[in-house]
Amino acid sequence: MSGCAGPAFAAEEPVDAPAAKRIAKEGAGLRTAIFAGGCFWGVEGVFSHVKGVKSAVSGYHGGTAKNAKYSVVTTGMTNHAESVKITYDPYEVRYDELLRIFFSVVADPTQLNRQGPDVGSHYRTAIVPTNEEQAAVARAYLAQLERAAIWDRPIVTRIEPQRTFYPAEDYHQDFMAKNPRHGYILRWDRPKVEALKAMFPRDWRADFLRDGPPGA
């Protein structure tokens, strides 16, 4: 089974990103959002523990259907990013709160075309709004983070236009829940989940939300 890289790295320290000044006004009904933050195992793992998230599916965003498969995406030649598509209830967790969690415990926005041990454009960090409200909130929050100068290096995370999202292979779905003792999970992703629990207790859900692509 192929998977994310796993050198002897340790997870970086989480960052206390500020609450967003531009609050998302999304109304009633479920919404979707797409986040790219390096290997999708950890991105999915964190958001699967967030209250209000109803679905978290690992997949590929930014390229075409023809080569939206792991063996090809990981060559870095397809323009896809390993991503997670989230369905959430904004009455329980707003989009701006999801952004704060993303930048606090999921991804380092200063690493260009990589996250930790994983290198390549398919491991880039990106925010993919699915409606105009999300886009406005994302632009405002990135500007807020740049002014706050939390990181020593420039923020390279970009807002990308929404394209078709392609669910990843079944073995990538719920990977953390299925493989809790996997070396990569223990070194790289488990600390992110623990940081979520410690830093966002009101958003923390102990149970892992198991999900997967339709028909998986």
Q: Give the Cα separation of 93 and 98 in Å (integer).
A: 7
Task: Please name the residues in contact with 66: beta carbons below 8 A apart, sequence gap of 6 or more.
Answer: none
Question: Around Cβ 28, how many Cβ atoms within 10 Å?
Answer: 8
Ramachandran angles phi, psi of 2, nearest 5°: -75, 160
Q: Give the Cα separation of 54 and 52 in Å (integer).
A: 6
Catalytic residue from among 4, 11, 20, 39: 39
Q: Give the Cα separation of 107 and 124 in Å (integer).
A: 10
DSSP notation for 31-57? EEEEEEESSHHHHHHHHTTBTTEEEEE
CA atoms within 13 A on the CB side of 105: 25
Question: Around Cβ 148, how many Cβ atoms within 10 Å?
Answer: 10
Q: Is 4 annotated as catalytic?
A: no
Residues marked active site are found at 39
